Structure 1
């Protein structure tokens, strides 16, 4: 990324209840591996890391503190060094302090990865651009589940194609430079 740009890595909803639930995300092990590689590269470069947890209302399977709400143990996020936050909407910005935290860290570029492609990845990419951030979307760094209408692979490819250009810069995770 250019020198005048300060990136951050934003990891969305890599939680036990979504990853290990009854419906398994498409190529979940590969996507987790890619995200962990990006975490290691971001950490090595001194790039801030933010991790969102989708939070359901009290009594839901993903209420605050529940086992399904927890980030995946295999996700190499460090709760001491990295910024973890909760959200209750598809946008990582609505009802959170993410925009203020990014501004305080002088971040203007976001690398966005995680789950689910057609909900929180799509919404957060679009809102981030509206808020003035440049967004880089690793095309192989997000996932979702099959739906009755479309396979997960088709959903991912559709969103990669739809978001590219107007909303995000699309590239392979291996080509992301921090």
Structure 2
């Protein structure tokens, strides 16, 4: 069985001053994945990145809340993380083992930080990692456009770190 893991789809990242590339399309893709996971009875996990007290993403900040566009039904496990790698200092690996998941389907934000480090960590921890090619995004940086960052990570992570699959081709 594969679990769905959605990373950092938070108000501050999605609706902040710098809009993510293909943000609306990403929300549609994530809602489709949520629906597929529920129909298959797959476990669903959503991570929220939390920063230190006094930061814009301190615990309890409205910026850390999940975006309302996600169709959540209360059957998901929502947890906080403080590192880019969603496994670091969280119970994610234990939860995946407890529900019998041999793999984790990874989607969300931000491609070059949390998505990348979580894909790499999943494989290191013995999980079959699946990255949804059209299920993650970021914002433009001074060095690269978001479109290029996403394409680069899809190409770089495919193989040694994870399988890369289009959302329409993935079934739980």
Normalised-by-shorter TM-score class: over 0.9
CA distance, structure 2, for counterparts of residue 100 and residue 143 of structure 1:
27
Partner-residue secondary structure (3-state), 1:174: helix
CA distance, structure 1, for counterparts of residue 118 and residue 28 of structure 2:
22
Structure 1 residue aligned with 2:44: 49
- Report whether the alignment pairs 1:13 with 2:8: yes
Task: Output one character per residue of 1:110-142: Cα deviation in whole Å (capped at 9) or x when no partner.
Answer: 110000000000000000000000011110000
CA distance, structure 2, for counterparts of residue 175 and residue 65 of structure 1:
37
Give the RMSD, CA atoms, in angstroms: 0.7
TM-score calculated relative to the size of structure 1:
0.95
Structure 2 residue aligned with 1:150: 144
Task: Output one character per residue of 1:33-60: Cα deviation in whole Å (capped at 9) or x when no partner.
Answer: 0000000110011100000000011121
Partner-residue secondary structure (3-state), 1:125: helix
- Report whether the alignment pairs 1:68 with 2:63: yes
Unmatched 5+ residue regions in structure 1? 1-5
Structure 2 residue aligned with 1:3: none
Partner-residue secondary structure (3-state), 1:129: helix
Partner-residue secondary structure (3-state), 1:141: strand
TM-score calculated relative to the size of structure 2:
0.98
Unmatched 5+ residue regions in structure 2? none
Question: How far is the alpha carbon of 1:77 from its aligned partner?
Answer: 2.5
